[in-house]
Structure 1
Amino acid sequence: MTTPAPTDARTAAVRERIAAVLDSPLRRPALRDELAARLLDLADAHAMTWADAPLDPVAERALVGDLLYAHGLAADRVSPVLAPHVGAWSPPPLSEEPPALLRPEDLARPEDVQDVYDAVVVGSGAGGGMAAQALAEAGLRILVLERGGYPRSRELLRDHLRTPRASTGLFPLTGPGPDAETRGVAIGQGPFRDVPARDWLWNGNAMTLGGGTRAYGAQAWRFAPRDFAMASTYGVPEGSSLADWPLRYEDLEPFYTRVEQQLGVSGGPFTDPWAGPRSAPVPMPALPVSPISERLSAAAARLGFGVQPVPLLVNSRPYGGRGACIRCSQCIGFECPVAARAGSHSTTLPRALASGNATILASAQASRVLVDGAGRARGVAVVGETAEGRLWRREIIAGVVVLAAGAIESARLLLDSATDAFPGGLGNAADQVGRHLQGHSYGGASALFAEEVVDLRGPGPRTSTADFRHGNDGIIGGGILADEFVPTPASTQRALRETGLIAAEEPVGSPVIERAMLRFARVMGPIQEVTTADSRVRLDPGRRDRFGRTQVRLSGSLHAEDLRGRDMLIARAAAWLEEAGAQRVVPMRPMSLPVPVSAGQHQAGTLRMGEDPATSATRPDGQVWGHEGLFVADGSTHVTNGGVNPVLTILANALRISEGIAAR
């Protein structure tokens, strides 16, 4: 960070910068001073340099817009000055802490943890939560370890600057936090450079109790039959490691149905031409339509492709002891005020605790998997930190270890668990562990309409088309397209500037930009990536974090076929918005190789399942090759990641793997 100027001069300079980009009615000294103080506090707390040097015009206005709208939404009562600017977005009033099925007081302290358990589950997101419930309800005494903490729901409802949806570069409340290590990142075969955890190239997923499900979008798509047989369907393009799963859709279908019924999925009726048969409908109807979804449905009929509601792990009526969605004006990236969204912290983890067989320890991470000389799992080494900043270490003995820390961290843990008998790490670490890293690149388009098409009623995604998941001429796979989540004012004003749908010099908070906010729409979707063996997780020799763990290197690129699929979705999204009557449509920009790996929130593939240890890291039952008692139950096991959000597949596969463990 650059050396700050003396406080008075520095503060005055920031005030002037903020005043210069605000719309004139907002240039009130008190508001200007409050925004300046907030910017300086955040910059210093997070070691950000943007407080000390003006940015380019688009970035400068976007940053001040983030501050303005976040400032207006931070308190329980919106100030009169900002009421016209944020009133429509006001989150639901809170007279008390939102309902929590898992309370901070339910978590264990380090001194409460015993020395021996039947099983240890590393990670508490979708896969870890499901594994915890399945094992605990089967009668195993388990310990769940979560690297992140458990911020209170009120915090996650009020902070619009430290949400995963913000673009200010601040650490989100859902993690990773400022104590996170740097990662070395290389694009393609280029040089490595250090990347902090707040940089998108770090490829972070949430690190908090509940993992990504604490604040996710909850799209609950099933993979289609062809998604499990991509190599057989399309062949293996040059430079790719595309392969079939060792499972078929029929193997996972019963588990898909059980997860939908147990956690609660709303949606349907479904018209997906590529979907496999269902043994039961989802248990809840879809949420109501929005103005943009009505327009998109009518436009799709004219264009000749099918539409359907987006399946969501969100209650459209009371279900499973949780309330119905109240359709508030903020969703993804925030806590649900009524626990209608099914996260691990509101479903599987509380059920694991209710069994009487589970202990959950947050702010603690597994640093090594312990194995005996034959390679059988015998527990984990754990490291954590006290409130006073003192590190503590323990070894927990367990006959079963289940890794569910995400594709990057699960692979890291195997690689960093070397012993004399396994000097390269556990599993077939020298060849397969860490390879085939993937996620989802997105294609889509943005548009501005003449009329308001945004009603600010959540969750947002309502109308989708699955026609383009497969069957696209000259394209391997494809993906779905859907309308976007209910917008936040900060994300919308940024998108309007970055797409050029409003002029770069438009003042922050002006009537022009605020009228545009409710006329702005996006159609987006993920493409099924074609995976390469060179996209991978490795250790960074000689570099350790403050806990003594070896740091990570990420390298690789998307495949050329991925860019072709992305371009196809971009064109389809733009045509859809044009047919829906948009005044102006801006497609996403094309990419050219090399492109960074897209292993953020949908990361997958580093410990993929297979029948042959020469081409996979785990067996079809989730066991790491060569290590009895050591299993993986997260997206790492995915051979391919579908052209849809993968969380339902992670949940279903974790249930299948965990019940297999328990049956032993």
Structure 2
Amino acid sequence: MKYDICIVGSGAGASPVAYTLANAGAKVLVLEKGAWLTEKEFYKDELAISLRDAYNPKLEDEQHVIEEEYENEAGESYWQGEATSESGWSFWNGTVVGGSSNFMSGYFHRLKPVDFRLKTEFGDIKGANVEDWPISYAELEPYYAMVEKVVGVSGRVTEHPHQEPRSTDFPYPPVAEHAISSWIDESAEKIGYHTVPVPRAILSKPAMGRQSCEYSGYCSSYGCSSGAKGSGRAALLNHAVATGNCTITPHAKVYKIATDSQGEISGVHYYDKAGRKKVVQAKYYVVACQAVETSRLLLASKGEKFPNGLANNSGHVGKNLIFSGGGTGRGDFFYKDLTAEKKAQLTQVGPFINRALQDWYQIDDKAFNGINRNGKAKGGTIDFLFYQNPISRAQGTQWQYDESQDSEKLLWGEELKQSMKAEFTTYKTLRFEVFNDWLPTDNCFVDLDDEVTDKWGDKVAKIRIGAHHHDLDVGEYLAEKAEKLLGEMGATNISSSVSSAPASNLMAGGCRFGNDPKTSVLNKNCQAHEVDNLFVTDASFMPTGGSVPYTFTIYANSFRVADHIKARWQENIS
């Protein structure tokens, strides 16, 4: 069967296209490599999440090769690759229908106008490939509002020095907040900080055939058993399928997009669940496999007109891969130091903290010693959270530092029991995450590995991870601000860690969009410069990532592109 739209992938970049086109009457096919799971499979299985990585491929079957920079004895740097089957460092984020949006925390901060024009605002940065976006915040703003309504975002708008322009208020009231949110607010006010309530892609009341949040305390990394979380599956694909116009094929691993001698797409080739090769055709093709796998697929799709990979005669496919700069931090609150009332508040489980700081989304501080010595730079966001998963919390309690041996010793029996008891009954840790820009560079990209293959015999993606030192400067600056707040709150054992080892669930770039075909892969509508009916709608399109998690912007941009595809499809059938 020939479809109107064939979409490779089913996450935040794919689902708005399927939803929009299916509702318009187009015949849509979604090819997803993973399984089609629903709410009944997303029970709170801590072993599946903490120890088994149950919703992703086994690394011996499907992996990546990660290249990192090292230094030899002579002080010379070199790049060394290691397969993730050996390191255990998984770059998969949710290989199921709906993709990683099933497992997100749902922090839905919008980008701000400054994020669309970093080069204009801050100038060139040596060693970085910073470019302005070919669209403005104003062009994307109506689609942010659409996502808030259709996907379901709960929140409230507050006055803030860096509040972005909005055309509407949030359509759903905030989800319930943990008592520690008021502690953060009070301490922040004392030291001149401005807290921001965090919008969440989680329904605070039933809507659109979905239930509201049940406040289990298990959200980040977990699938949502109530359907409250705005995953691409629950919020969009279920409705797309209900139209009768959308077909989802799970266990479909796409390995090539073939082209004819004229450079036109002749079909999408995939393996089905039984390993059989199949091919489908469509009028329009959309690739949305997450940044690394999208670049891998295009690079692997070579043809007569595209010897270096589909839409890659410019050589930019896979280039300028970005992650999220920043890091994490923590502070402990010991129950013995608290009143009974405060302890009861702190030990509450379920509601969200929902507090962020964006006072330094743009840094203007002479004390900042980054690239721009005038103290001005793009900053970022600080979000506060608890880790609720007991298994993750217990990991590490089996070790104790032995001063006499200056090393860690393994605990057994009664010592282990006491260590675990102390972990769970004497204190609670408030954590923060820092999000700032990961500047695109020549040393952060995706290629195909010449030696390692997956279980189907196809070349896997090789990912070089090179970070700009400016990212670390900004991350450390923000972490210091967060540590100051924890100190004001009365926390102890305050610490933070900012590094160039990226969180693999925050990836973008590789097929950046722009107006110049010589320096970009896609045009402003995320259509390949070299292939008229090929679009890329995951985070691959982003020239820069901003200083917030990416999912909200992926959704918004995908709805924007979906409107463009719909208009073209309708014009051709009229």
SS of 1:480's equivalent?
strand
Aligned residue type for 1:464: A
Structure 2 residue 132 is the aligned partner of structure 1 residue 213: no
- Find the aligned partners of 2:104 and 2:260 in 1 and give their Cα distance: 38
Relative to total residues, which structure has the larger strand share, 1 or 2? 2
Residue in 2 aligned with 1:33? none
Written as runs of structure 1 = structure 2, the 5 A alignment for 1:172-571 is 172-178=53-59, 180-188=61-69, 189-196=78-85, 199-200=88-89, 202-386=90-274, 391-429=275-313, 431-451=315-335, 452=343, 454-458=346-350, 460-473=352-365, 474=368, 475=370, 476-485=377-386, 487-494=388-395, 507-508=416-417, 510-516=420-426, 519-541=428-450, 543-571=452-480
State the distance in 2 between where 1:434 and 1:495 align. Answer: 37
Question: Match for residue 648 of structure 1?
Answer: 552
Tell me by how many angstroms 1:599 deviates.
5.9
**Off by >6 Å, runs of 4+ in structure 1:** 495-500
- Counting matched residue pairs gives 532
**Native 8 Å contact 1:379 1:400 kept in 2:** no
SS at match of 2:42: helix
SS at match of 2:35: coil
SS in 2 for 1:409: helix
- Change in Cα spacing, 1:429 to 1:291, as seen in structure 2 (3 Å) is farther
Match of 2:505, as an amino acid? Q
Q: Work out whether residues 314 and 325 of structure 1, in 8 Å CA contact, stay in contact via their aligned partners in 2.
A: yes
C-alpha spacing 1:193/1:179, structure 2 compared with 1 (3 Å): closer
Structure with larger RCO (C-alpha < 8 A, sep 6+):
2
Q: Look up the match of 2:485.
A: 576
Q: Distance in 1 between matches of 2:184 and 2:362?
A: 21
| Structure 1: distance between partners of 2:425 and 2:59 | 37
CA separation in 2, counterparts of 1:440 and 1:281?
A: 28
Q: Secondary structure at the match of 1:519?
A: strand
Residue 51 of structure 2 corresponds to residue 147 of structure 1: no
**Equivalents in 1 of 2:517, 2:64: separation in Å?**
28
Corresponding residue for 2:571?
A: none
Q: Percent identity?
A: 29
- Structure 1 residues 140 and 190, CA, compared in 2 at 3 Å: closer, same or farther? same
Q: CA RMSD in A?
A: 2.2
Partners of 1:499 and 1:245 lie apart in 2 by 50
Task: Report the residue type matching 1:275 in the other structure.
Answer: Q
Q: Distance in 2 between matches of 1:158 and 1:288?
A: 20
Question: Are the aligned partners of 2:267 and 2:279 in contact in 1 as well (CA < 8 Å)?
Answer: yes
Amino acid at match of 2:312: N
CA apart distance, 1:642: 1.2
Which structure dedicates a bigger proportion of its chain to helix? 1
Separation in 1, partners of 2:238, 2:313: 35
Partners of 1:444 and 1:464 lie apart in 2 by 13
Matched, 1:117 2:3: yes
| TM-score, scaled relative to structure 1 | 0.76
**1:609-628 aligned within 5 A:** 609-628=513-532
CA contact (8 A) 2:260 2:304 kept: no
Q: CA deviation at 1:466?
A: 1.4
Counterpart AA for 1:303: I
- Verify: 1:162 aligned to 2:51, yes or no: no
Partner SS for 2:282: strand
Contact 2:326–2:471 (8 Å) recurs in 1: no
- Distance across 1 between alignment mates of 2:119 and 2:397: 40
Alpha-carbon deviation of 1:635? Answer: 0.4
Aligned with 1:606 (options 501, 506, 510): 510
How far off its partner does 1:421 sit? 2.2
TM-score (ref. length: structure 2): 0.88
Gap change, CA 1:180 and 1:225, over 3 Å in 2: farther
Contact 1:403 1:410 (8 Å CA) reproduced: yes
2:21 aligned residue = 135
Residue 260 (structure 1) shift: 0.6
CA deviations 1:261-296 (Å, max 9, x no partner) are 111111112334223211101111212321322211
2:14 aligned counterpart, secondary structure: helix
From the superposition, tell whether residues 392 and 485 of structure 1 become closer, same or farther in structure 2 (CA, over 3 Å).
Answer: farther
CA contact under 8 A between 1:260 and 1:282: conserved in structure 2? Answer: yes
2:82 partner letter: R
Aligned equivalents of 1:521, 1:122: Cα separation in 2: 39
Cα distance, 1:207 vs. partner? 0.9
